[in-house]
Amino acid sequence: MIGKLNHVAIAVPDLEAACITYRDALGASLSQRQELPEHGVTVVFIDLGNTKVELLEPLGENSPIAQFLERNPTGGMHHICYEVPDIRSARDRLLAEGARVLGDGEPKIGAHGKPVLFLHPKDFCGTLVELEEV
């Protein structure tokens, strides 16, 4: 069902500082900042050729990233994103197998303009999983 690794997301308390670190220390090429109000985040992507790293900063007090950073004030890995060819059939199969889809269960448009869903970390070895339709 899952395809390639699309990205690994890292929550950061200061997106500008994180961008400087990745650019200057690792020579990373960074995308433009993108605000995603529906998801409560501001993101920057680092393209690695075969996958991406997504840097996430909270957008507002109610951001799920703000809650994550309360527990992890210096930041850390937030989620991993896998590609799927059909997000609704993937969702239906996972629900039938007992997995929990976060939110209302309906895909939302993600940072790449494609439908995404998040799966409960307790169902996936303690890791928040994002599925993105490609």
Domains with residue ranges and CATH for the chain: 5-133 (3.10.180.10)
3-state SS assignment for residue 24 = helix
23-52: buried (b, 16+ CB within 10 Å) or exposed (e) per residue?
eeeeebebeeeeebeebbbbbbbbeeeeeb
Instruction: Tell me the pTM.
Output: 0.95
Give mean pLDDT in consecutive 10-residue pieces for the chain, a chain of 134 residues: 96 98 96 95 96 96 94 97 98 98 96 97 98 98
d(CA 86, CA 54): 22
What residues act catalytically?
130
State percent of the chain over pLDDT 70.
Answer: 100
Question: 10 Å Cβ neighbour count for 18?
Answer: 20
The amino acid present at 52, given as its one-letter code, is K
